[in-house]
Chain A
């Protein structure tokens, strides 16, 4: 398929720790088409961030890809020589992070930083780069972009800083933008602005967007498809509307119900909490990793390995999904 931008197959990632090797991503399959938005949803320790760092080639030193493939526009990134991989992932894919203040250099004006990013990708004069930087600031809807070029990061609000980071990420006209919790540190009214901006930019530029978040509410507004991760695996994936209307994995259903909502039947009374807590890597139960917390657990759930199976448009990792109505 020529529209396929990213195709991750059977990805395994391990970390070396003082207690020995730990597998934190355990056989992940994901793909994104051109112009599509895929959201990876998961709680801390689910492996969502590590998966995306491996796509960018940014795994910390202790982390290693132990198996599988990451095809970007038809080329397996893992098999590429480092220099070629850097060239490809430096220009055609970009990533933005949760905390823009720590990703920007406090000692340089934002215009210089964006211009530097542009000159990394293209051979242009400093003057041209500054002009492009101004265009990029206008693209991310920053008012008075020519004035803002001369601001230092601390002179901008959190929302403006995240816009600057998005502008830098777009400097190389990427085909894939990875956004790791880009609105989590922002106030809710500013979060709404940034989500709208990302959705607009994706429409305008036709890039693929891989959006990582713990917030199911954020996903609902932005993603075409969603992949729910738990303990290093994808446990359910499918079109956002289908997964939200009819979750087929008890973890997805539990997650959806535990979010406090403002209206509807669950708006008052007790929240539907999921009992227990996520397993630590290296201390996974046999069978389904969610089994110890699952209200629908049966003996069968704790045996063997459980594969992702197709149910209509969804892929679900659950032995009991056929018999359960979780919607």
Chain B
């Protein structure tokens, strides 16, 4: 296999908490993403998915572990290197209104970003091209963010991310603030752009159905750890980890006939300061036994291109 575009190795991110305690946001996550791949990271609040994305964006420093982009260790980048890295990696946030400057016209916002990589003469044409790419009318350039609906604002956010011609886009809950009918438009747009421009996408969301729709592979996180990684279809068709199964079962399905066979997880997410001993899911897991709270399970291969961290799921005889 070729060198992955993004390679995360044994990443830990912790934050200081009150009373000298430590919040363990991301614990020992390793993950490779190939160029042109859409990797979906799914998890509930407190799973560490957003912190992982922010670590990739170099918005939070890793406590331990390494992140390589295109073969380069991000920790070794100097200021100039980091600046260049940030034209190759971009982000799309959940709330485009919070991430767009309300005083700048859409055209100015896009031009400011595009000017980082385009010549002055080419910038106006690039702004028009960006508006076309995300399906906004050309006259949008003269207008301000508040004049647009939520779905259109997210298109502006996407256009701004594309302005620097990035290779990797980290999209953190890009559609969860949108109405259902608009959400589908934006998911389709992201899918089209990804294919058209050959982008690599780290798609972070809590909605497993959306993640499954757009992703080639899925990683499931719980309390800072990766529980399971594999091809999107395989994860959904035959989830291995008990948490993945519970998550799949909890997704509300728009079909009254499908509601009966639900498995409902009990309890709440434990505190990320005082993690349960052993497997972090053991305190809520319907299948946990004593061994599960004794040792932390490693991610082990369970099928082609699939890994799972559960003592109850054994390695197949190969």
Residues of A that sit less than 8 Å from B by CB: 43-44, 157, 159-160, 187-193, 195-196, 214-221, 240-241, 244, 254-256, 258-263, 267-268, 270-275, 277-278
Instruction: Report B-chain residues with C-beta under 8 Å of the C-beta of A268.
Output: 213, 233
Instruction: Report A-chain residues with C-beta under 8 Å of the C-beta of B252.
Output: 188, 191-192, 195, 215, 217-218, 220-221
Instruction: Report B-chain residues with C-beta under 8 Å of the C-beta of A260.
Output: 184, 187, 207, 209-210, 212-213
Instruction: Choose one: A157, A240, A256, A277; the contact of B268 (CB below 8 Å).
Output: A157
**Contact B253–A274 (Cβ < 8 Å):** no
Asked, given contacts A44-B179, A273-B184, whether A259 binds B256 with beta carbons under 8 Å apart, the answer is: no
B170 vs chain A, min Cβ distance (A):
20
Instruction: Report A-chain residues with C-beta under 8 Å of the C-beta of B253.
Output: 217, 220-221, 261-262
Asked, given contacts A217-B254, A220-B255, whether A258 binds B181 with beta carbons under 8 Å apart, the answer is: yes
Instruction: Choose one: A221, A262, A274; the contact of B248 (CB below 8 Å).
Output: A262
Q: A188-B247, A221-B259 are in contact. List 5 more A-B contacts (CB 8 A).
A: A157-B269, A187-B44, A187-B269, A189-B250, A221-B262
A221 vs chain B, min Cβ distance (A):
4
Bound: A240/B254 CA distance, A: 10
A-B contact count (CB 8 A): 130
B208 sits at the interface (CB 8 A)? yes
Number of interface residues of B (CB under 8 A): 45
**Contact B251–A262 (Cβ < 8 Å):** yes
B192 vs chain A, min Cβ distance (A):
9
Most chain B beta-carbon contacts within 10 A, residue among A218, A262, A268: A262
Bound: A259/B254 CA distance, A: 8
B236 sits at the interface (CB 8 A)? yes
Interface residues of B in 231-248 (CB under 8 A from A): 233, 236, 246-248
Instruction: Report A-chain residues with C-beta under 8 Å of the C-beta of B209.
Output: 259-262
A181 vs chain B, min Cβ distance (A):
13
A152 vs chain B, min Cβ distance (A):
15
A18 vs chain B, min Cβ distance (A):
15
Residues of B that sit less than 8 Å from A by CB: 44-45, 149-152, 179-185, 187-188, 191, 206-210, 212-213, 233, 236, 246-259, 262, 264-266, 268-269
**Contact B255–A214 (Cβ < 8 Å):** no
A156 to B, closest residue via Cβ: B268
A238 vs chain B, min Cβ distance (A):
12
Bound: A102/B128 CA distance, A: 43
**Contact A244–B264 (Cβ < 8 Å):** no
**Contact A259–B180 (Cβ < 8 Å):** yes
Asked, given contacts A43-B179, A192-B265, whether A267 binds B212 with beta carbons under 8 Å apart, the answer is: yes
Bound: A28/B294 CA distance, A: 59
**Contact A192–B183 (Cβ < 8 Å):** no
B53 vs chain A, min Cβ distance (A):
18
Instruction: Report A-chain residues with C-beta under 8 Å of the C-beta of B181.
Output: 43, 254-255, 258, 273-274
Asked, given contacts A217-B251, A262-B208, whether A190 binds B183 with beta carbons under 8 Å apart, the answer is: no
Instruction: Report A-chain residues with C-beta under 8 Å of the C-beta of B264.
Output: 189, 192-193, 196
Bound: A205/B51 CA distance, A: 43
Asked, given contacts A187-B206, A263-B236, whether A244 binds B256 with beta carbons under 8 Å apart, the answer is: yes
B237 to A, closest residue via Cβ: A263
**Contact A258–B206 (Cβ < 8 Å):** no
B268 vs chain A, min Cβ distance (A):
4
Bound: A217/B248 CA distance, A: 13
Instruction: Choose one: A196, A218, A254, A271; the contact of B188 (CB below 8 Å).
Output: A271
Bound: A255/B179 CA distance, A: 10
Query: Lowest 3 A-B CB distances belong to which pairs?
Result: A217-B252, A273-B184, A187-B44
Bound: A70/B264 CA distance, A: 37
**Contact B180–A43 (Cβ < 8 Å):** yes
Most chain A beta-carbon contacts within 10 A, residue among B44, B152, B253: B253
**Contact A262–B236 (Cβ < 8 Å):** yes
Instruction: Report B-chain residues with C-beta under 8 Å of the C-beta of A187.
Output: 44-45, 206, 269
Instruction: Report B-chain residues with C-beta under 8 Å of the C-beta of A44.
Output: 150, 179
**Contact B256–A241 (Cβ < 8 Å):** yes
Bound: A313/B88 CA distance, A: 56
**Contact B265–A216 (Cβ < 8 Å):** no
6 A-B Cβ contacts within 8 A? A217-B253, A259-B184, A260-B213, A273-B181, A273-B185, A274-B185
**Contact A262–B182 (Cβ < 8 Å):** no
Bound: A218/B251 CA distance, A: 9
Instruction: Report B-chain residues with C-beta under 8 Å of the C-beta of A258.
Output: 180-181, 183-184
B177 to A, closest residue via Cβ: A44
A136 vs chain B, min Cβ distance (A):
20
Most chain B beta-carbon contacts within 10 A, residue among A157, A192, A270: A192
A264 to B, closest residue via Cβ: B255
